[in-house]
Amino acid sequence: MFNTNTISRFQQLETPFYYYHLDVLRNTLDACRAASSKHGFHVHYAMKANFNPRVLDMIKAYGFGADCVSGNEVKAAIAHGFGKEKVVFAGVGKSDKEINLALDEDIFCFNAESVQELFVIDELARAKSKVAKIAIRINPNVDAHTHHFITTGLDENKFGINTWQLPEVADALRKCPNLQFLGIHFHIGSQITDMEVYKNLCNRINEIQDWFEDHGFAVKVLNTGGGLGIDYHHPDTNGISDFESYFKVFKQFLNVRPGQEVHFELGRALVGQCATLISRVLYVKNGQKKNFLVLDAGMTELIRPMLYQAYHLIENISRGESEVGSRKSEVGKELTQDLIKYDVVGPICESTDCFQKDVELPESFRGDLIAVRTAGAYGEVMASSYNLRDRVSSVYSGE
């Protein structure tokens, strides 16, 4: 992934920074568009995964819509050229200010997440003499078999409306003349790699859309959400998610009526592999039981390992092939450099500021460049200025 010229370039730059592999992003978007378009599916990019301006410009150019979870994301999507007719607005706690902004922009659809929200949107739309298009986000109670912090489709989660509330939803829709019911929306979690989970989701969607039709509501849009996972362990050999298998599941198992639209909201799968966090070793601390690499990047630059116990492949890119892999001696025998286990930690004044424990790396030294891979999703967007640190910068391939 990093050739000699790229590493030489990195050595001249101030760290830490996010390095964006624009070719990786382009190849991923190509694969997603090819796999979804053959079925006539509509893809919205989940803005919360990464709203780097260069990333947004590339995604918009592919004709995808935008999935937003805040008023500012709605504004950013429209400012970057995503068509208003392709913007959806989800979120369990939309403020009146955010709803009004989206109403003024005449976005495609609100994904409503509670019965009370339906009445609020109706009231605000009535004040503007507008009709708001609505999809009902429903908890299908399908287990995503992923980390409990990023599971969103169970009855115990804060998101969406539970199926036992559907009669109340139907009653609210009939009482709200300034709402136009478009369809039903689902999102069961993130980093899902088991396609059987999506098959189960399809079965629940089929049952729920039958319920709405039986109660007199025409379902024009089936929004299945997103959540498709990526390979954090093998970013070079498995850098693009299996979009073909993912969309094929919905083609096979979703009962799509004539004229219905099927929508998806993908984030991580589109941008996860396109960025790497580049950092420098500040100090090497060797102890009796532990060795530490103290980096100039920490939880202020990439909080996922501390927040979700997330894994990211960590590499010392200053130690080249001659030092890391197999080397040949004068007699032609292969010699292998011993690897050392390090706890790779950041500089933040928190004990939890640790990227990973017991990482096997070649012997490392002050000034070495460390790459934390697959950081394109929920990396830069979750960065902070805690400890009054400078905000992390961005560097792009091809520049």
Here the CATH number for the domain that contains residue 173 is: 3.20.20.10
**Same-domain pairing of 389 and 357:** yes
Question: 172-201, pLDDT tens digit by residue?
Answer: 999 999 999 999 999 988 899 999 999 999
Asked, for residue 151, whether it belongs to a domain, the answer is yes
- pLDDT, residue 282, reads 98
pTM of the entire predicted model:
0.91
| Distance (Å) of CA 35 to CA 22, 121, 246, 348 | 20, 35, 9, 42
The answer to the question of residue 16 being in a domain is no
Helix (H), strand (E), coil (C) string for 248-302? HHHHHHCCCCCCCEEEEEECHHHHHHHEEEEEEEEEEEECCCCEEEEECCCCCCC
Predicted confidence (pLDDT) per residue in 15-49, tens digit: 999 999 999 999 999 999 999 999 999 999 999 99
The C-alpha atoms of residue 64 and residue 77 are separated, in whole angstroms, by 11
Comparison of pLDDT for 12 and 329, the residue scoring more: 12
Mean pLDDT along residues 309-337: 63
Q: Quote the pLDDT of residue 289.
A: 87
> Is the pLDDT reported for residue 322 higher than 90?
no
Residue 203 to residues 126, 189, 237: CA-CA distances in angstroms?
Answer: 36, 17, 33
- pLDDT tens track for 219-264: 999 999 999 999 999 999 999 999 999 999 999 999 999 999 999 9
Looking at every residue in the chain, the average pLDDT score rounds to: 92
Query: Is the pLDDT reported for residue 327 higher than 60?
Result: no
Residues 279 and 372 both lie in one domain: yes
Domain count, the chain: 2
Q: Is residue 13 part of a domain?
A: no
The proportion of the chain whose per-residue pLDDT surpasses 90, expressed as a percent, equals 86
Q: pLDDT class for 338, splitting at 50, 70, 90? A: confident
> Are residues 347 and 277 located together in one domain of the fold?
yes
CATH number for the domain harbouring residue 319: 2.40.37.10
User: 272, 302, 323 — which closes off a domain?
Assistant: 272
pLDDT over threshold 50, residue 304? yes
Looking at the structure, do residues 212 and 71 belong to the same domain, yes or no?
yes
Domain extent for 374: 273-396
Same domain, 281 and 262: no
